[in-house]
C-alpha cells in the first residue's frame, strides 16, 4: 500500500471517529441556535416551541438577518410587508420599526406563528400557512382533493409550500433530536 493510500485511510478513520464521538457537536454547527435570547423570549411569550422557530429561521433565511426574498419578504423569518403592517397595528409597534432588526423580526414572526396556531391548531397546517398563506390553507382544507376530513392536508397543491413543509419538519426533527425538547403537535 502506498503512503498516499495509508494517509487517505487514516484521514477517513480519524474523521469517522470524530463524527462518531462528536457527531452532536458537529450537527449543532449545521443546526445552530443563533439569536437565542430573542427566540427564547418570544417563543415563551407566544407559547411556541423554540425548536420550531429555529427550524423556520433556518428554512427561511439560514440565519441571515438581512435576507430579502425575491417576493420582498425580509429578515430572519422572512416577514412579508403585509404581515409587518398587520403586526404594527396589532402589536402597536409604531410605523418606524426596522423589520431587519433580529429582535423585531423574531417577535413579529413568533406573533404570526401564534396567530396561525390559533387559527389552525396543528403544526403541519401552521407551517403550510406560514409559507402558502392562511387563505390558501383554508381553501385546501375545504377541498376533498386536498383534504379528506377538512382537518388535515393530504396533498399540498403548491409545490413550493409542499417542499417548504417537508424542509421545516426535517429541521424541526433535527432540532428536537439535538436539543432534546419535544414540541407542539
Q: Quote the pLDDT of residue 22.
A: 53
Would you call 168 exposed, middle or buried from its count of C-beta atoms within 10 A (0-12, 13-18, 19+)?
A: buried
Say if 185 falls within a structural domain.
no
Say if 148 falls within a structural domain.
yes
Q: Write out the residue range of the structural domain in which residue 44 sits.
A: 33-179
Phi, psi of 149 (to 5 degrees): -120, 0
Contact between residue 155 and residue 139 where contact means Cβ atoms under 8 Å apart: no
Tell whether 3 and 45 lie within a shared domain. no
Tell whether 89 and 10 lie within a shared domain. no
Say if 138 falls within a structural domain.
yes
Phi, psi of 79 (to 5 degrees): -85, 125
Q: Whole-model pTM?
A: 0.84
The percent of residues in the chain predicted with pLDDT above 90, rounded, is 78
Considering just the CA atoms, what is the radius of gyration of the chain in Å?
Answer: 20
Tell whether 101 and 20 lie within a shared domain. no
Contact between residue 76 and residue 61 where contact means Cβ atoms under 8 Å apart: yes
Tell whether 123 and 92 lie within a shared domain. yes
Tell whether 46 and 115 lie within a shared domain. yes
Reading the block at residue 17, the C-alpha cell is: 471517529
| CATH code of 64's domain | 1.10.530.10
Tell whether 25 and 39 lie within a shared domain. no
Tell whether 89 and 6 lie within a shared domain. no
- Residue (of 39, 166, 45, 169) closest to 115 by Cα position: 45
Q: Quote the pLDDT of residue 14.
A: 65
For 47-70, what is each residue's pLDDT tens digit? 999 999 999 999 999 999 999 999
Tell whether 18 and 97 lie within a shared domain. no
Produce one character per residue of 54-66: b if its CB has 16 or more CB atoms within 10 Å, e if not. Answer: bbbbbbbbeeebe
Confidence check: pLDDT of 153 > 80: yes
Say if 184 falls within a structural domain.
no
Q: Which residues pair with 79 in a beta bridge?
A: 74
Amino acid at each position: 500500500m502506498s503512503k498516499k493510500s495509508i494517509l487517505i485511510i487514516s484521514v477517513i478513520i480519524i474523521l469517522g471517529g470524530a463524527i462518531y464521538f462528536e457527531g452532536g457537536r458537529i450537527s449543532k454547527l449545521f443546526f445552530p441556535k443563533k439569536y437565542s435570547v430573542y427566540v427564547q423570549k418570544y417563543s415563551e411569550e407566544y407559547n411556541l416551541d423554540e425548536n420550531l422557530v429555529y427550524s423556520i429561521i433556518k428554512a427561511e433565511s439560514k440565519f441571515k438577518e438581512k435576507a430579502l426574498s425575491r417576493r420582498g419578504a425580509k429578515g430572519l423569518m422572512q416577514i412579508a410587508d403585509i404581515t409587518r403592517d398587520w403586526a404594527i397595528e396589532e402589536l402597536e409597534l409604531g410605523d418606524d420599526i426596522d423589520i431587519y432588526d433580529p429582535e423585531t423580526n423574531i417577535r413579529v414572526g413568533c406573533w404570526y406563528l401564534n396567530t396561525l396556531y390559533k387559527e389552525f391548531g396543528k403544526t403541519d397546517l401552521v407551517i403550510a400557512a406560514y409559507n402558502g398563506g392562511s387563505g390558501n390553507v383554508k381553501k385546501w382544507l375545504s377541498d376533498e382533493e386536498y383534504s379528506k376530513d377538512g382537518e388535515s392536508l393530504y396533498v399540498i397543491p403548491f409545490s413550493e409550500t409542499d417542499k417548504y413543509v417537508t424542509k421545516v419538519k426535517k429541521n424541526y426533527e433535527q432540532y428536537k433530536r439535538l436539543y432534546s425538547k419535544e414540541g407542539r403537535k
